[in-house]
Amino acid sequence: MLNDFCPYIKWIMIFPFAGFLVNLFFGKKLSEKVSGSLASAAILLSFGCSLLCFRALLGLPEGTPALKETLYVWFAAGTLNIPVGFRFDNLSAVMALVVTGVSFLIHVYSMGYMRGDRDLKRFFASLNLFVFFMLILVLADNPVLMFVGWEGVGLCSCLLIGFWYENMDNARAGKKAFITNRVGDAAFLTGLVLLISFLNLAGVPGLDFDSLKANIGSLAGYSVKGLPLLTVISVLFFIGATGKSAQFPLYIWLPDAMAGPTPVSALIHAATMVTAGVYMVSRLFFMFEISPYALEVILYTCAFTALFSAVIATLQSDIKKILAYSTISQIGYMFMGAGAGMYAGGFFHLTTHAFFKALLFLAAGSVIHAMGGEQNIFKMGGLKGKIKYTFLLTLAGWITISGIPPFSAFYSKDLIIEEIYGSGHFWVWLSAVATAGLTAYYMTRLFKITFLGTPKTDAHAREAPPVMLVPMAVLAALSLAAGAFTGWFINFSGGEVTDARLPFLVKEAPLAAGLAGIALGFWLTKENLAAYLEKVFKPLHKLIYNKFYVDEIYEALVIAPLKVLSESFFFKFIDRTLIDEGMVDGTSRSFYFAGEFLRKAQNGNVQLYALFFAFGLLAVLAYILAAAL
Amino acid sequence: MNGENLLLLSFILFSLSLLVFLTNRNLLIMLMSLELMLNAANIALVNFAFVRRSAEPAAWLFMLFAVAAAEAGIGLAILLMLARTFKTLRADLINKLRG
């Protein structure tokens, strides 16, 4: 274990932070180009450092799983000792490379997309800060430091969703994302506190991931309120993950988060931050694995989420909302991979998804740009000829996400679906296959309505500049080609490709579902047929179109009672009555009344004062005498 | 002359002056009774000097003389100003500081 120290790890994080500081404090003095180039260069350097670490990692001798670097002790109290330590192992290597690589491409894209925005420097500063926190989350060597990154990316997400804060809706969407995340974070933190305190109780207080992995078994005997402790902790951590990774029931913030600039949606709300939950579950998989029921909870919740949000996506008309629901659904797949017992499969899907979903979002941004800010796909159409390159790039994204071989999502999705079948959850498998079909359907629908058919407006659509097209092309190449590395990747991230002989029907079911979805996507969206179906299934259409009224249910069940409680109890009673009137006004009023009473003693008669004085003297005298005798 | 008697004298003088201070309304008389109270204290100190065969109480005695003299000076000056302002020296009529 002598050679596991790596001095490059900290530089992975220092560069984005430096970029953030420069853009924050000197942004006003920089020109647009310099600001954007600086931010991108910071990420590129960070990517370079990740590559250096990656090379060092591959050169490690057998049995040394990770590179480590500890900067200093953050805080220590009793047996609790939290160092700022980083760990570069197979999991965090993949994440760091994906995060810095995709971030770099999206930074470059942003230079074109955000051109002319008057807050451009704030944008790049926030984006750099986000990458910094994301890397802390990924590289942290203990769950507490991971939580720092976890909160940091949440903050940046909120800042960037509400980037155009003059519009109240955007600010509200940022707030919604932040508050929904807090719910999950509270659970995560509770789990963390439970974990730390019981580890201490068991006498194994080490919190770095190596010690955790070695010692987690010693917690197996404990229970809280009759439930096995590990299950409680795992489920609490998973609730934290549902907040960050937008799974049911805390997914509601992600569709609204589309209010942010499109590069933000691509980077934070598709490729990196929302997958933090999957990363966390993979990172702590050794705990989830031995916790009874925890994996089942993940599997069922996320299978439901994947199907549910895919159904919603089929009837949305906002191009970014469709992609947002698709993201929720795809993250559901990643969790299902972990839930079925092979987190490496979920992790591979995380990586391919980062490529193809970032590509789709960037392409959507390019379309929105070309349409002058229009996001409704029914107002587009016939864009094929007008923006040829964006069309081709979206085509690549579309066939990838639909699960057509030999492109990457085919392999990553199939791996997960097969693993679910292998783990014996037939109904979950069926729902995963159905989700694959639905995915192909809604993406085909989006693709057809946007690019094919007749133009709805004769507005002149302008193709994006090369600074936007090149990053998309790189992502497209990655999405198409990443499938070739499936076997290597799975082995690298700690799984193994089982060559299970599945029945032919089971093996080919996801592909068949995908092809059927594409066919239906072309057929059902014919205008007269779509209108006919809408009329026949009117209540169902309305239910799905309105997203199963989940937001309204939350409004009625959670937000409205909370508002009433805040208004009548916390505001009117606690704040106004108790604090304002009781404590603040009450203090001054009590002094006033005391003065009103005591002023009667001040009658201006000197001799009366003297009399009191004499009595006082007598009293003192009496006291002294009594003591003396 | 023994200690007991001197202490008794001091006590009687103090009590009488206190009585005068509390009952008389003329500020000049009140000031005079204050001086008498200080003198009562002086007598007590003389007694202690006798009883303890020590010079220390006597030293305090002279300090007290000085204080009494200074106090009389300031007190008379204040009384003069009061008399000039209010045209009276009756304590119950000078009650501008009533709350």
Give pLDDT, residue A61: 77
Q: A605 vs B21: CB contact, 8 Å cut-off?
A: no
Which chain A residues have a beta carbon less than 8 Å from that of B99? 598-604
Which chain B residue is nearest to residue A610, measuring alpha carbons? B22
Residues 6+ apart with CB under 8 A from A557: none
Which among A402, A394, A356 is positioned nearest to A516, based on CA atoms? A402
pTM: 0.80
Which chain B residues have a beta carbon less than 8 Å from that of A611? 22
pLDDT band at residue B2 under the 50/70/90 scheme? low
What the block records as the tokens of A463 is 């193709």
pLDDT band at residue B70 under the 50/70/90 scheme? very high
Number of other CB atoms surrounding residue A603 within 10 Å: 13
Q: B95 vs A605: CB contact, 8 Å cut-off?
A: yes
- pLDDT, tens digit, 9 for 90 and up, residues B28-55: 999 999 999 999 999 999 988 888 888 8
Which among A338, A346, A249 is positioned nearest to A288, based on CA atoms? A338
Give how far the C-alpha of residue A16 lies from the chain's centroid of Cα atoms, to the nearest Å.
19
Q: Nearest CA of chain B to the CA of A622: how many Å?
A: 15
Q: A607 vs B98: CB contact, 8 Å cut-off?
A: no
Distances (CA, A) of A229 to A79, A210, A217, A238, A340: 21, 20, 11, 14, 21
Give pLDDT, residue A1: 45
Which chain A residues have a beta carbon less than 8 Å from that of B93? none
- The full set of domain ranges for chain B reads 3-86
Distances (CA, A) of A413 to A317, A420, A474, A490: 26, 11, 22, 13
Give pLDDT, residue A361: 92
ipTM of the complex: 0.81
Q: B91 vs A605: CB contact, 8 Å cut-off?
A: yes
Give how far the C-alpha of residue A467 lies from the chain's centroid of Cα atoms, to the nearest Å.
27
Q: B99 vs A604: CB contact, 8 Å cut-off?
A: yes
Helix (H) or strand (E) holding A340: none
Q: Nearest CA of chain A to the CA of B12: how many Å?
A: 15
Which chain A residue is nearest to residue B21, measuring alpha carbons? A607
Question: In the CATH hierarchy, which fold is given to the domain comprising B3-86?
Answer: Helix Hairpins (1.10.287)
Residue to substitute from A597, A599, A606, interface B, most B β-carbons within 10 A: A606
Mean pLDDT by 10 residues, chain A (629 residues): 70 92 88 88 93 86 79 86 88 90 93 86 92 93 92 92 89 90 92 90 84 85 85 92 89 89 90 91 89 87 92 89 92 90 87 92 89 83 81 90 86 87 87 92 90 74 84 90 83 71 78 88 81 83 84 88 91 91 92 89 82 91 91
Give pLDDT, residue A293: 86
DSSP-assigned states of every residue in A522-556: HHHTSHHHHHHHHHHTHHHHHHHHTGGGHHHHHII
Whole-angstrom distance, CA of residue A295 vs CA of residue A106: 34
